Structure formats: C-alpha cells, structure tokens
Structure 1
C-alpha cells in the first residue's frame, strides 16, 4: 500500500507515438504486387492448375455437414485407374 502524502503520477509521455503507428497506404500497391505474382506463377507452371493438386469433391462426414460438399484430400488408386 502507498504511504505518505505523495503526488499521484499522471505522466503524459507521448513524444514517440509516430514510431508505433502502422499505416496502410501501401495496401493498393501490395494488391497489385500479389496479383502480378499470381499471374507469373500461373504462366510458369502453365499446364498444371495454380491451386495445387486436384482434389475430389466429397461430402462431410457427420449429420450436421453431410449435405455439404467440400474438397477432399486426394484420389484413391482405384479412382486414378
């Protein structure tokens, strides 16, 4: 517990607040950069799909999700034949 008749501290040190602020002014440029990178990747691996390996469409397992379709993990050997 604080004892004696001391001053209650009320500091207001806010001289360096600019260093802690992060701006988003580069957001449009970053969007363009990402888009160009995606296009370059698509050109580079052209015959293949850009989203990685093909995945089968499967149903969810439980009663809550079995009416929904989702991307599966991969094809079985029988399906690939």
Structure 2
C-alpha cells in the first residue's frame, strides 16, 4: 500500500538532497525502508545507526510503519562549536 509522506531533511542530509523538504510516495513497510529509498535516490552516506527519525514532531522507531500524510524528519548528528 503506497502512502504519501512529507519528508524533511536537516544539516548534511538537506545538503545532499538539495532540498529541505519533499513529498514522497512510498510502499516501504517501515521508516527504515523509507530511509533506504531516499538513501538510494539522494546518495545519503549516513547509516540508520547515526540518525534519529521523527514522525509528526515526535521521535519514532525505525520499525514503525509510515502513516499516510505524516511528516517524517530524518535528523543527523549535529556538532556544536
């Protein structure tokens, strides 16, 4: 079953994707699969283990299924200075 998601990127992921946000139609069964699709599309180098994922403003688990119309954010580690 395909779902339409709004995907937001931050920091290095935003730079790699060339956009801060995009709409994605996906049949991925979980958020890990969503990231894998986007990793293949944009050439993201960061593995899942180095990211956090949030859905509709709340941190989520990679095993969670994406929900139609949700906003998904992939958050890389941020360094401070």
- Give TM-score, length-normalised by structure 2: 0.22
Larger radius of gyration: 1
- If asked which structure has higher relative contact order (CA below 8 Å, sep 6+), I would say 2
If each structure's strand is expressed as a fraction of its own residues, which one has the higher value? 2
If each structure's helix is expressed as a fraction of its own residues, which one has the higher value? 1
- Give TM-score, length-normalised by structure 1: 0.22
